[in-house]
Chains A and B, each alone.
Chain A
């Protein structure tokens, strides 16, 4: 799959569709408008220089969100150095599946984490049942 911001300055390539997509309601996910698919960093190619944002309201943010410096589309996230150390390697990357053509996502499950109610440790709950893209609503 090839994904692109609106203006085409940032392009992402992934071999496979994501296992699932998280539509999280935490302030960072909601305000950046992202629907995250998760990948191993080695499985994603990024073409173009995106701008990064690390939240300053947490001492050790795990993710740096990237967006296009021209059109402003949120494109992906990478782990911070702190998160790489904490998790024992650069194990995870997020790709904003809202950039994809939804026809390429038919059959993928969208989950709805309740990130806003998450304590920051342990598992998080879900605010509604998952939905399958292209299936019955």
Chain B
């Protein structure tokens, strides 16, 4: 069993085993969060043996509004992602797992920015995006 928590400890998970791999996405939101995502779609959802108190997080929903990004109300750490429509939690930010060593876990890097740039170590091939490039930013745009 491993534990994952935001910095202040208000948002806590217990997970039955460490992730075999985590995803580093360089899209406009993921690169700002600096997250390493660990996925728990069914049938892996049972690995989340303790889920956080829903009242401990605030959410940000954007773009196609499919996902809600949860952060701790107190310390602001982005802890997990849920289906916006029903709150089903299926992605945890592995940066919250104190025992996880980013130097040894497999990091899959997905090039959703179409830039090839990642902050994490470059020892796995970059996975191309299945999404088209976003339109270039305009003066009205802060991406």
B50 CB, min distance to chain A CBs, angstroms: 18
Q: Evaluate whether A33 and B95 lie within 8 angstroms (CB atoms) in the complex, with A6-B32, A6-B143, A27-B7 already known.
A: yes
Contact partners of A127 in chain B: CB under 8 A = 103
**Per-residue B-contact encoding for A6-44, CB less than 8 Å = 1, 0 else:** 111001000000000001010110111111000000000
Q: List 18 A-B contacts (CB under 8 A).
A: A5-B142, A11-B142, A28-B7, A32-B34, A32-B76, A33-B32, A33-B35, A33-B77, A53-B7, A65-B75, A72-B71, A73-B32, A74-B34, A74-B76, A98-B34, A98-B119, A102-B117, A133-B117
Residues 35-63 (chain A) with a chain B CB within 8 angstroms: 35, 51, 53, 55-56
- Shortest CB-to-CB span from A64 to chain B, Å, is 11
Would you give the 0/1 interface string for B10-41, flagging 1 where the beta carbon is closer than 8 Å to chain A?
A: 00000000000000000011011111000000
Q: Does B78 interact with chain A (Cβ within 8 Å)?
A: yes
Q: Quick check: B142 and A8 within 8 Å, CB to CB?
A: yes
A133, chain B: closest CB distance, angstroms: 8
Q: In whole angstroms, how far apart are the Cα atoms of A76 and B2 in the complex?
A: 30
A31-B143 in contact (CB<8A): no
Q: Which residues of A contact B128 (CB under 8 A)?
A: none
Chain B count of residues within 8 A CB distance of the other chain: 32
With contacts A53-B8, A53-B74, A55-B8 taken as known, whether A72 is within 8 angstroms of B33 at the C-beta atoms is yes
- Which residues of B in the span 39-83 have a Cβ within 8 Å of any Cβ on A? 58, 60, 62, 69, 71, 74-78
Compute the total of residue contacts between A and B using a CB distance below 8 Å.
92
Seed contacts A53-B76, A71-B60; 18 additional CB < 8 Å A-B pairs: A6-B62, A6-B142, A28-B7, A31-B6, A32-B75, A33-B34, A33-B95, A51-B76, A53-B74, A72-B58, A72-B69, A72-B76, A73-B32, A73-B33, A74-B33, A74-B34, A110-B119, A133-B117
Shortest CB-to-CB span from B65 to chain A, Å, is 14
Chain B interface residues (CB < 8 Å from chain A)? 6-8, 28-29, 31-35, 58, 60, 62, 69, 71, 74-78, 95-96, 98, 102-103, 115, 117, 119, 121-122, 142-143
A32: nearest chain-B partner, CB-CB: B77
In the assembled complex, the Cα of A98 lies from the Cα of B33 at a distance in Å of 8
Q: Assuming A25-B102, A51-B76, A55-B7, is B31 touching A98 (CB within 8 A)?
A: yes
Q: How far, in whole Å, are A88 and B86 apart by their CA atoms in the complex?
A: 51
> Complex Cα distance A27/B95, Å?
9
Q: Which residues on the B side are within 8 Å of A95 (C-beta)?
A: none
Are A70 and B115 closer than 8 Å at their CB atoms?
Answer: no
Q: Across the interface, name the chain A residue whose C-beta is closest to B123.
A: A137
Is B98's CB under 8 angstroms from A27's CB?
yes
